[in-house]
Structure 1
């Protein structure tokens, strides 16, 4: 057929039909077909109707968001561990498992669907298709997400992503990615639940974190040096039960390569499947679906007894390095009819209104950075002393400003606020009544723009 291509180099056996559950070729939301969009939106509504994986993940994420580690430096949490706290760093691996868990839940409903990603270094308008009512727009009203686009801070630039790719040290890379606009930007720009510990309530969280995961995937392809000191993950430690099933125990070092999970990324019309052995670990048949060109080779292997298929609307190339061994079951196909992504019996779910319950965690302050101007990365705090402190702490700025200083405890609750005018020395007194532990100092200018945050310890 004109415009379609099927090039095969290798040997394999065509297989009969199986109950199909797919692995993933994730693509940008702009490359998803209308049928994929409709199917994914429908699956999200089904998953909220029960058991509610969105609320379960959001609650877990909030409960383990960020801890004071002064009492136990090895205690795990999910966010904002510094490079010198490498034994606690699980941010990238944990979120990789979280989006994989969500994707598996989606595929139980529709096996040919994968999560998409939102490249917010390119798509930066509330008028983008991602926010249309037939896509993620309907969730804002139906789930009371209260998005507030563009009010909370800038989205990343392509140059900022390039700068990340040039970083050599993994812990520096992870810390910079998490705290700066490549990760932070979409959370604060979207607003509503997204810049809070309950951010997984919003389906946009998963499109954003698939993009963050892709950035890590691309960095690892270049540097091959991701490394975790931790050997287990919160939630994925073999003890957590959701919907009657115990979630698997995962060592973060075992998932440094997304291909271990059968996850690949398609971009600009090409998905390259390589360095992967079909194992059927998660699914009895691994189906890789992408409407554009799929190229499988460079040690993509279907061993004896394994079951896999590759499906495209346009082109499939099986190139040197592809192998389907004798005794394997492999199928490659091109189908210009996109609609068969759904089984004949598939029913779209109704978009039901289902507000989330109220939670104080929607109003917790999040510390995105350790020092540095949030907007232009120029240092503004010269010193915060003494740190640790007992009764008084002095913040020294690089220039005189009118500003407001707020102090928050480790639960995000405000415990002190003072206003200062035309000064570069901020003296915060009468702190003796505070309990020992970690506190956050937040400095804003007279217009309410956040200038800097600083973590300090009360003795």
Structure 2
């Protein structure tokens, strides 16, 4: 049991919200305590004992990485479905769940652990602490990952991140994120297993995708516009079994808010916890651990019968909107003993391990071909077809790509006679046109910003 400097219990009235579950404050790797580094490195080695979660995820990721749907439209995959196959797209949602799956397993070993993130727009040197032998460096030799840090120097810039967050369409945002440097860069810069379909063999894969997930979280907080066409995902379709346990069915539209998994992202010394209900679904005590300022409020609720603990090395603030119901067990603890070292010895340098390092015996796959070009930036010209033309009482308009758009119909005098808005579609039907006089009309398609995409002349019989 840790020695505590401060223990505070708070009891408030219960605010009724929709229950969600999980628990995690994810922080940049540079904000981890030495205690967290020791524990997560040990836990990663432990995950390869027995059923070997790392190898299972890497094998699945390799088996379902990317397929040509024209050859077999029933065979689903994980990557490069945008922009043309939106009905198959699951990239961000699938990786959110797989990072959560590993994080939950880490918390079975130590409930104070969470999956850190590697902000590759800032930390771009092979000498960063992330690659130290007492951090992720030891895995390179122990697991035969064959890293080549910095050989392909395409890590993202802060400007690229800002431009990405300014995208307004979800599928455009997801496509650019997946194919360009915010995602691709971390893979190719690391080298070894990372730029191959077996990339989850390298533990940094999960640090990297924790950052990708944070970028999605930040985009969703701005635009509130994430939406999928599919309602299930491979591995998380209710049929996949790992280590004797069937993994749950997950609809990607149910997890577009990271708080559904109790995930909060800390940054610059502050973890803001809000709009969450403690449920103890996965852990008998939900522990939110962060060495800097934890601030909870704005509908953060600890209901009766649940157990939760905030733990910081420095500061905890409960602000208006925080609620702990009568009958709940809530602690806010400041741990000042060695920054949470739990009396473990820790010294810089290689960690001596007695357990088998579990090297991979077979060679890693060939590197991924990262597709770029017109499809990436969605800059193909809009092509419009209208049928029937001539029309009588209705007309069906088809575009060669899905868009949020406005359809306007003008007569030849330039008068606007019909206007309808459509979201994320390539097929629009304009009805009840039978009252129009025979003659020529003009269809104009504009995007959400009012920019003209295409104009076409049609004929009314």
Normalization by structure 2: what TM-score? Answer: 0.74
Any gaps of 5 or more consecutive residues in structure 2?
14-20, 345-350, 381-461
Of residues 264-273 and 66-75 in structure 1, the stretch that sits farther from structure 2 once superposed is 66-75
- Is the counterpart of residue 357 in structure 1 residue 357 in structure 2? no
The residue number in structure 1 matching 2:409 is none
Kindly state the Cα deviation for residue 269 of structure 1 after the two structures are TM-superposed.
0.5
The residue number in structure 2 matching 1:87 is 87
Work out the CA distance in 1 between the residues paired with 2:355 and 2:119: 26
Write the mapping of 1:60-459 to structure 2, written as runs, cut at 5 A: 60-73=60-73, 75-338=75-338, 340=340, 342=342, 350=354, 352-359=356-363, 362-363=365-366, 365-371=367-373
Work out the CA distance in 1 between the residues paired with 2:343 and 2:12: 26
Work out the CA distance in 1 between the residues paired with 2:354 and 2:227: 44
Kindly state the Cα deviation for residue 284 of structure 1 after the two structures are TM-superposed.
1.6
- 1:105-135 per-position Cα deviation (integer Å, ceiling 9, x unaligned): 1111111111111101001010110001000
- 1:295-347 per-position Cα deviation (integer Å, ceiling 9, x unaligned): 00011011222211111111111100101112222111111114656599xx9
Equivalent residues of 1:6, 1:317 under 8 A apart: no
Equivalent residues of 2:237, 2:249 under 8 A apart: yes
Work out the CA distance in 2 between the residues paired with 1:318 and 1:341: 25
Counterpart secondary structure, 1:287: strand
- 1:184-231 per-position Cα deviation (integer Å, ceiling 9, x unaligned): 001001100000000000011011000000000111111111101111
Equivalent residues of 1:236, 1:248 under 8 A apart: yes
Work out the CA distance in 2 between the residues paired with 1:75 and 1:314: 50
Alpha-carbon distance change, 110 to 7 in structure 1, aligned in 2, over 3 angstroms? closer
Kindly state the Cα deviation for residue 369 of structure 1 after the two structures are TM-superposed.
1.9
Equivalent residues of 2:10, 2:331 under 8 A apart: no
Work out the CA distance in 2 between the residues paired with 1:87 and 1:114: 32
Counterpart secondary structure, 1:125: coil
Equivalent residues of 1:25, 1:264 under 8 A apart: yes
Equivalent residues of 2:7, 2:331 under 8 A apart: no
Alpha-carbon distance change, 342 to 263 in structure 1, aligned in 2, over 3 angstroms? farther
Kindly state the Cα deviation for residue 10 of structure 1 after the two structures are TM-superposed.
6.1
Counterpart secondary structure, 1:84: coil
Counterpart secondary structure, 1:144: coil
Normalization by structure 1: what TM-score? Answer: 0.74
Work out the CA distance in 1 between the residues paired with 2:343 and 2:85: 49
Work out the CA distance in 2 between the residues paired with 1:12 and 1:159: 44
The alignment of Structure 1 onto Structure 2 pairs a total of residues equal to: 366
Work out the CA distance in 2 between the residues paired with 1:169 and 1:350: 51
Any gaps of 5 or more consecutive residues in structure 1?
14-20, 382-459
RMSD: 3.0
Equivalent residues of 1:274, 1:298 under 8 A apart: yes
The residue number in structure 1 matching 2:432 is none
Work out the CA distance in 2 between the residues paired with 1:320 and 1:94: 34
Kindly state the Cα deviation for residue 350 of structure 1 after the two structures are TM-superposed.
3.6
